[in-house]
Amino acid sequence: MDNTELLNKLGVDIDPELVSLALTHRSFAYENGQIPHNERLEFLGDSVLGQAVTVMLYKTHPNLDEGSLAKRRAAVVSTVALAEVARRIGLGSFVRLGRGEELTGGRDKDSILADTTEALIGASYLSAGADAASALVLRLIDPLLADPDRYGAAMDPKTSLQELVAHHRLSAPVYSVSASGPDHHRFFTATVSTEGVSASGTGSSKKSAEMAAALAAWHELSGRA
């Protein structure tokens, strides 16, 4: 697959082999002779992401206490937020997935999109260095920070949805969650419903799946007059 379009969006010169590795999900690796996959890069990228966001928040919000800074950081580095970043750059179409994940909508799963985003950040760190990787992080999350309403929703999507539902005088949101996969690798799908609105989200835990569903419903409701 030609990853030139993706690299142009990222704006970082990343080694082609590392790009390919960052885009390789473990499901693809297992179906193709146990080749290397992106989880080590994801581990590295998670650390780079956390440090870049922490430094940025510390410098730009000198009046916030530790607890407030921690909440903002958690919102920006959450699976829900990273999946939104990934969708904005069309990352799902570049991920290398196994057939099973492909058939179950893996290209749009929050967890896969978020993990791949972190892996690409890790790859940028190894290829271009710490400064370039931090700059990439800030470019990726900037649209989230530029929209206060969306940022607030990403920080606490269930509460934000509850407030929006009350504003529209709709019935309280009702959540349902289903799980799939083996015990050591459970995958959750949540659906939230209220009057005239139903949205779904996925995650590696019940909580993250419900948050993803709540944010999707918030986006749908917030578009109403």
List active site positions. 46, 118
| Spacing of C-alpha 100 from chain mean position | 21
CA-to-CA distance for 173 and 210, rounded, in angstroms?
A: 11
DSSP 147-171: -HHHHHHHHSHHHHHHHHHHHTTPP
CB 192 within 8 A of CB 171: no
* 180, two tokens: 């799939």
CA-to-CA distance for 133 and 44, rounded, in angstroms?
A: 11
181: alpha, beta or left, given left = phi > 0 and alpha = psi -120 to 50? left
**Looking at residue 64, what DSSP letter applies?**
-
User: What SS3 state is found at 36?
Assistant: coil
C-alpha dist (Å) from residue 180 to 25, 28, 50, 104, 209 = 18, 19, 29, 11, 12
* 220, two tokens: 């749908």
How much is the CA Rg of the chain, to the nearest whole Å?
18
Please check if 115 is assigned to a binding site.
yes
CB 208 within 8 A of CB 188: yes
Please check if 118 is assigned to a binding site.
yes
Please check if 5 is assigned to a binding site.
no
Which parts are annotated binding residues? 42, 115, 118
Which parts are annotated binding residues for Mg(2+)? 42, 115, 118
